[in-house]
A and B are shown apart, each in its own frame.
Chain A
Amino acid sequence: MIQELFIAALLFFGAGFVLPLAVRSDRRIVRTASYACTILASVLLGIPAIAVLLGSGTVIFPAYAPAGLFSIAFVIDRLAAFFLLLIAVVSACVALYAIEYSEHLDGGSRRNLLCGCTSLFILAMVLVVASANTLSFFFFWELMAAASFFLVMYEYDQPATSRAGIFYFIMTHLSTVFVMLGIILLWLGSGSFALDHLADTPSYLATGSFLALFTGFAIKSGIIPFHKWLPYAHPASPSPISALMSAVMLKVAVYGLLRFLLDVFSPELWWGALILVFGTASAVLGVIYALKEHDLKAMLAYSSIENIGIIFMGIGLYIVLGTAGLPFLATIALLGALFHSLNHALFKSLLFLTAGSVIHATHTRDIEHMGGLVHRMPKTGALFCTGALAIAALPPLNGFASELLLFIAFFESVTVVEPLVKVFLFLCLALFALTSALSAACFVKAFGSVFLGMPRSPESAGAHEVPALMLAGPGILAAACVVLGLFAFQVLTIAGFTIPVMPDIFLIGLLLLMMLVLTYAVAFFASPRTSRVSGTWGCGTHFQEAGTEYSGHGFSEPLDIIFSPLYRTRIRNERTFFDEHGAIFKSGTAEIRLLRVFEEYLYLPVARQFYRIAGAVAKIQNNCLDTYMLYVFVTILTLLVFLGWSA
């Protein structure tokens, strides 16, 4: 039954892909049918995922092996089922939203390609997660990369988009190269492509393979310093695609890392420390960069980097605690990482979708040109607020529940034997707390600048609420955020994990509600119910203008200054003078620019080196047929000599 449902889901994803490409006409019905297929497939996928997750046993599909070692095989165990569920829930909500959203895009029949590729993209991610060996994992990994590239390039005629697309293409292939390298090293070690435990391989091969795979997955999931593609690709692509990429595709990379760490390797302490250091750096720097960002979607992209960092912290902590002989605490850390993956998928897709609605209504991504939208888009505002509360890790929502698990694991890590490890873990804990508090500041800024105060542009003043279908998808996600937060304890218990120190958040939710009702009742009965409306106090000015209110830029200014060593700015000052003493000013330009540290000191030097090497290689090609024939001749001669010599 589970197998049939899974295959049916795959077929419907396939139908969602083929249908809009086969019927090329630019009609709404075609696209709606495609999205309906995607939604149906997601629901069909969700059922087997839940069944396996609740312990109906691992499902193994017969392998398809056309030639020897090369085989495509699927298996759904609990880890895979968890990620399949994550994909299913987010995909269904995103597709529901996209039905209406894609009708408002430009591009005519190109929109058919958009919904077809969306379906293909989801299908590829499902197959990556369900893969039973490294070969099929790699094959579908590449399919996922290709499908997502086409989606990012949707508005290919915009120069910013094509630049972002190329950037993404290069980075994602860099990731593929490293994953391939890791898989080849594994094959050298074990001689098979199966995802089995490596028992007796030389450890340098295992270490090399781990490092390659870690780099590959870190690039794909946007760990700093490999993160630069996220803030380019997310703003460039349509909002449902940003939501899918940020909420789901990054999690597929997390899944890959977990799969290899849990099933293949026997991790060592320093592996965990490495993952923890990269995770912590991404979490802190991600949120600090997010604070500085004024492009709403780029801000959400940086916030994804932060959350992926938190997930990596959980994974690193799992390995550190696991190698220290504390399996129970390690499990809590791993649960925290997994739960945060799910939660981040939910609230980040919610935020990207509502951000898409806001951008659709105001035609800008700059939060300085928004404001006052809570009056014009009240429902979108309430949904965004739910997402902001969840991502700021506030109780009783789901972001808090998963961060609480990580806090518990960190706090209890005092039982780790080695004092140095303890001090290291405490430093990570302090930075984790900083991250969490900064993300609260970041989302006060986001919600405040976008929705509160006065409109700061005519478009923002004339914005309208989006249609019901564009509220339904985010609505389901928001409900899931609330439910998973309130019932975190119960959900973990159902999944088979009882954690004694984990508080029952539902009880806290009840208490909050009770206190709210009590306060309201006292206020309602004990004080007069009169209120009137009068202008905001503006220091004696007669009328208030939007220009005087605190902008998003102003909001983050204190933190900008505090963290200014991290935001390297470059001040350029060029002046020309009439006289040689520099006394009579002629003209000049001045510029204060945020230095793109990683791009200018890491990416570009590496790219230049490659360019140089490529230039050197290009000298061999002189466009002359004789030379090429000489190459062929020399090659054959060398081969013959080599074969004769080695035989």
Chain B
Amino acid sequence: MSLDFIIYLIINTAFILLIAPLFAGLIRKVKAWTQGRQGPPVLQQYYNLAKLFRKEIIYSPHASWIMRATPLVNMAAIMVAALFVPLVFVPEPVGGIGNIILFLYLLALARFFMALAGLDAGSSFGGMGSSREMSIAAIIEPTTIIVFAALAIVFKSFNIFVMFASSAATGALTTPTIILIGISLFIILIVETSRIPVDNPETHLELTMIHEGMILEQTGRNLALMELSAAVKLTLLMALMINLIIPAGLAVTLTAAGIFIAAILFILKGSLLAVIIGLFESSMAKKRFFQLPSLFAMAFFFSTLIIIIEVFA
């Protein structure tokens, strides 16, 4: 493991933890504006996390070690997944870090524990959330894997680092396939981060919530860890899209100036994407749960189309 790589590990982890709540806050702000509200400050997510970190934890008498371990395991899995997606600087990959299948399954590991924690307290809300989350995760999986396979074909590599490096070298947006992949990735982003029309991150009504229901019994710093990991996951999937489609400015060599510029550009591009997500969410209504499979079937055929275009081109 080279020095470059160790520096990358530190920079990437610190940067993503630092900016993750920003995008989540920005999306909320955009949604508030479209509804004609002032909305909470963009930095409200940071204040929330700081507040939650100082609060005591309340456990249910039925809760077991699953409840206590989940925030930590969830955060650890998401942070390792975060190492797989370079935000600003792309080093040479080391020992399979960046493998796209492993990335997908690290997210699955986090989800598995989160769903177990939802069942742990014996609350019907938690169970409902877990059940729906696992169902949605299962039926979006074929689409996700087809999109990732398409990425592997287009970039001729399994490794996200190599994909980013080659898209940074060519400036991307060169083939029509990459635009199609971008749209598919956007759908995956919406589904994976529990946004409208799949889930509504704002409500606490049992009929609409999925992700929020699952973490309803989490309190104090455990809740803070869950919220932070959700924000990091959102940023990760955004970064995957940004650095594949508009990689301009992505640093491939380790220089302070390059990384600084890349970071500024990433925040700008990320903010743009966050605004788009906010507008997208505002323009949609939450779909009924059992209408989702048809939405996913559409996404699946769409991504299969990419493969067929790529195969027969």
Contacts and interface: CB of A to CB of B under 8 A. Distances in A.
B73 interface: yes
A144 B142 CA distance: 39
A302 to B, nearest CB: 16
26 contacts: A371-B122, A372-B62, A378-B65, A404-B102, A407-B101, A433-B141, A433-B146, A437-B138, A441-B134, A441-B135, A445-B134, A448-B115, A448-B116, A453-B122, A507-B94, A531-B59, A533-B58, A534-B61, A536-B61, A538-B124, A550-B119, A550-B124, A554-B127, A558-B290, A559-B135, A562-B135
A387 B115 CA distance: 17
B127 A531 contact: no
B179 interface: no
B75 to A, nearest CB: 5
Given A451-B64, A453-B122, 19 more contacts: A372-B122, A389-B112, A407-B101, A410-B149, A423-B311, A426-B146, A430-B304, A433-B146, A444-B112, A444-B130, A448-B116, A501-B96, A508-B80, A515-B76, A515-B79, A516-B76, A526-B53, A531-B59, A550-B131
A519 B79 contact: yes
B132 interface: yes
A574 B59 CA distance: 50
Contact of A503 (B59, B76, B95, B149): B95
A447 B64 CA distance: 13
A8 B259 CA distance: 66
Interface string B84-115: 00000000001111010110011011011001
Contacts of B108: 392-394, 437, 440
B33 interface: no
Given A426-B307, A453-B62, A528 B76 contact: no
Interface in A501-529: 501-505, 507-508, 511-512, 515-516, 518-520, 523, 526-528
Nearest to A434: B142
Contacts of A489: 96
A459 interface: no
A449 B118 CA distance: 12
A139 interface: no
Interface in A470-522: 489, 501-505, 507-508, 511-512, 515-516, 518-520
Contact of A437 (B62, B122, B127, B141): B141
A436 B141 contact: yes
B139 A507 contact: no
Q: Determine chain A's interface SS by DSSP, over half rule.
A: helix
Interface in A417-476: 419, 422-423, 426-427, 429-434, 436-438, 440-441, 444-445, 447-449, 451-454
B302 to A, nearest CB: 13
Contacts of B94: 507
B119 to A, nearest CB: 4
Contacts of B144: 433
Q: How large is the interface on B (under 10, 10 to 19, 20 to 34, 35 or more residues)?
A: 35 or more
Contacts of A433: 141-142, 144-146
Contacts of B75: 515, 519
Interface stretch (B184-192, B215-223, B264-272): B215-223
A64 to B, nearest CB: 49
Given A375-B64, A419-B312, A519-B79, A503 B54 contact: no
Interface in B286-301: 289-290, 293, 300
A128 to B, nearest CB: 35
A530 to B, nearest CB: 4
Nearest to A433: B145
Interface stretch (A93-101, A240-248, A541-549): A541-549
A368 to B, nearest CB: 13
B152 A452 contact: no
A109 interface: no
Contacts of A408: 101, 158
B283 interface: no
Q: Determine chain B's interface SS by DSSP, over half rule.
A: helix
A531 B96 contact: no
Which 10 pairs, one residue from A and one from B, show the smallest C-beta to C-beta distance?
A503-B96, A550-B127, A448-B119, A433-B145, A437-B141, A441-B134, A430-B142, A453-B122, A515-B76, A531-B57
A445 to B, nearest CB: 8
B140 to A, nearest CB: 8
B130 A429 contact: no
Contact of A527 (B54, B61, B65, B116): B54
B194 to A, nearest CB: 15
A535 B123 CA distance: 10
Contact of A536 (B111, B112, B141, B217): B217
Contact of A430 (B76, B134, B138, B300): B300
A157 to B, nearest CB: 37
A445 B131 CA distance: 8
A537 B124 CA distance: 9
B30 to A, nearest CB: 30
A372 B122 CA distance: 9
A643 interface: no
Given A423-B307, A508-B102, A511-B80, A534 B120 contact: no
A633 interface: no
Given A447-B116, A515-B80, A441 B137 contact: yes
B139 A519 contact: no
Contacts of B105: 393-395, 400, 404
A534 B109 contact: no
Contact of B122 (A528, A546, A562): A546
A555 B72 contact: no
A336 to B, nearest CB: 12
A556 interface: yes
Nearest to A511: B80
B137 A440 contact: yes
B41 to A, nearest CB: 23
A262 interface: no
Nearest to A388: B112
Contact of B72 (A516, A527, A536): A516
